[in-house]
Structure 1
């Protein structure tokens, strides 16, 4: 029997456990328009009433909790003590935290301040339309460049347990190509992420 739209439970995993090696300091705490970078994906997930919202953190967990104090009731902080093993460990923690509560999850990057609500709305809308047609992964494409957040149906959660090292969901996407739906957005800036001091400087200068 097909689920009704209102019955779908969609959660969020926000990846915030990186070591910020290229930045040289905890990038998610850096300010942009007087708010830390991490504020943007968290507020986006909260605004769209995704539940649960799991923020996977590492060595900066206390700082992130303090910075995001206003969201503490809506966000679950999950600590990853294996951040040196790569992004796969964070994804596993996130999936294990949400798996018994959701039909699907949106995976966000912690350093993308420009993703608008429109993107999340369209991904969720597409899930409602396409889930019964066999679509299991929905991904935005910004100006031709594939990006985040990415929706994964719960039937794929077991595949995350097979990931190793610094390999994220792209292996799962590759293995399930025929079940992927891409949604195109013309604005390439929406997919911008911030990894280096140069990228951060460009962000602040509005380049």
Structure 2
């Protein structure tokens, strides 16, 4: 029996308008935010990595083109996150790879670690018809895994709707896993500096 195949979409198409600089390329220890996400993804078993870009495509593409990933350009990125998800689903359906599920993550959640991603994958392996989402302080969201039975729904997402919309719509079919305060995202320079400081402090305390 063939191993399940999962497409991992790293959503990284935003313009970082509140940041003033492409957040995808902000330093994160020895990496940048985007190369850090890629480095986690390529360690996952039975997963193929797709990075969905939009704003600042050319400079980001130069940074990641040598990684073992497929880069997808979303030319409608300005219209919202839903367009990036739709773009990714359309791409893999055109490739006809017959993936069993899609894992969706964001480039600006660097606290989400390999442990949590593997927990989601492990839960999905036993509940393969369910949406496996991340439990957050308020509700449930990404990272999340959507089985192939939801691909059509992902294709119908409105431009400015992210995966959380579907998670809420199909709440009775969602299994959630706590991320233990790892779901902080980065929208501003102050948030970035604060999160970096928080991680540095945690690292020092653990030594």
Q: TM-score, normalised by structure 1?
A: 0.86
Q: Given that residues 109 and 148 in structure 1 are in contact (C-alpha distance below 8 angstroms), is that contact kept between their aligned partners in structure 2?
A: yes
Q: Partners of 1:83 and 1:205 in 2: how far apart?
A: 31
Q: Given that residues 101 and 145 in structure 2 are in contact (C-alpha distance below 8 angstroms), is that contact kept between their aligned partners in structure 1?
A: yes
Residue 125 of structure 1 is matched in structure 2 by: 122
Q: Say yes or no: does 1:197 pair with 2:189.
A: yes
Q: TM-score, normalised by structure 2?
A: 0.86
Cα distance, 1:206–1:170 mapped onto 2, change above 3 Å: closer
Following superposition of structure 1 onto structure 2, how do residues 7-156 of structure 1 map, counting pairs within 5 Å?
7-71=3-67, 74-99=68-93, 100-101=96-97, 102-131=99-128, 135-142=129-136, 146-156=140-150
Q: Partners of 1:162 and 1:147 in 2: how far apart?
A: 18
Q: Partners of 1:145 and 1:118 in 2: how far apart?
A: 21
Q: Given that residues 89 and 165 in structure 1 are in contact (C-alpha distance below 8 angstroms), is that contact kept between their aligned partners in structure 2?
A: yes
Equivalent pairs, count:
196
Q: Deviations over 1:141-187 (max 9, x none)?
A: 256763421100011011122212211112222222221101124x2
Cα distance, 1:25–1:140 mapped onto 2, change above 3 Å: same
Alignment partner of 1:47: what SS? coil
Unaligned ranges ≥5, structure 1: none
Q: Partners of 1:145 and 1:40 in 2: how far apart?
A: 26
Q: Partners of 2:28 and 2:165 in 1: how far apart?
A: 32
Q: Partners of 2:176 and 2:196 in 1: how far apart?
A: 30
Alignment partner of 1:167: what SS? coil
Q: Partners of 1:167 and 1:83 in 2: how far apart?
A: 12
Q: Partners of 2:160 and 2:138 in 1: how far apart?
A: 24
Q: Deviations over 1:44-83 (max 9, x none)?
A: 1101135331111013222222212441xx2111111111
Q: Partners of 2:66 and 2:72 in 1: how far apart?
A: 17
Q: Which moved more, 1:15-24 or 1:135-144?
A: 135-144
Q: Given that residues 109 and 185 in structure 2 are in contact (C-alpha distance below 8 angstroms), is that contact kept between their aligned partners in structure 1?
A: yes
Cα distance, 1:144–1:118 mapped onto 2, change above 3 Å: farther
